[in-house]
A and B are shown apart, each in its own frame.
Chain A
């Protein structure tokens, strides 16, 4: 089973991917997802969403979840 990972805006350019699919084995939280896709620490101001709802880095993730990472929002 897998977890879908998405990146937006400047973080997408930094990571170099729009989407990734990772194996869910050994992944418990959104923080684990980040460490599975990047060797660098996640900036404190970066935001996380699980299944299109804001979440904390320590929130649990499960098989089939979509986890997104993105910078502070600048709409309007």
Chain B
């Protein structure tokens, strides 16, 4: 299991590839379910120039580690990988990667979805958007 908070841009596809190569036993994994969340250049009808993602150092990592470990246990995953950006983020930057690996697709797909929804609703992160008219905090996440 690996959980990371990143302050710089990352390529989620390279991360998944490297994690599979370095941490997963070849031949034992039949399913890799991957979710990547990417910054849009629009939100609630406005153009968004950039945003700052804030977290609670210590609590956020701990929360994501518990969430990931719970998912591994609940769905008998082979392993899981979670990476989340913080700091200044630009449109088209990837924000979050959640990947679940298992022997069969059902467990990986369900676990990936569950982890992502848990992260969105409970992990301590906050977004502040920069618009042409100024800055605003994102008050709630979209429903899905």
Contacts and interface: CB of A to CB of B under 8 A. Distances in A.
Given A9-B126, A52-B59, A68-B56, A74 B116 contact: no
A76 B59 contact: no
Contacts of B138: 74
Given A52-B56, A68-B59, A76-B125, A10 B84 contact: no
B37 interface: yes
A5 to B, nearest CB: 13
Nearest to A49: B59
A8 B124 contact: yes
B119 A75 contact: yes
Contacts of A76: 37, 84, 95-96, 116, 119-120, 123, 125, 141
Contacts, number: 69
Interface in A44-76: 49, 52-54, 68, 70-76
A71 B56 CA distance: 12
Interface string A1-14: 00000101110000
A73 to B, nearest CB: 6
Interface in B110-144: 116, 119-128, 137-141
28 contacts: A8-B54, A8-B126, A9-B128, A9-B137, A52-B56, A54-B122, A68-B56, A70-B56, A70-B126, A71-B137, A72-B139, A72-B140, A73-B126, A73-B141, A74-B126, A74-B138, A74-B140, A74-B141, A75-B53, A75-B96, A75-B119, A75-B124, A75-B126, A76-B84, A76-B95, A76-B96, A76-B116, A76-B120
Interface of A: 6, 8-10, 49, 52-54, 68, 70-76
Interface of B: 37, 53-56, 58-59, 62, 84, 95-96, 116, 119-128, 137-141
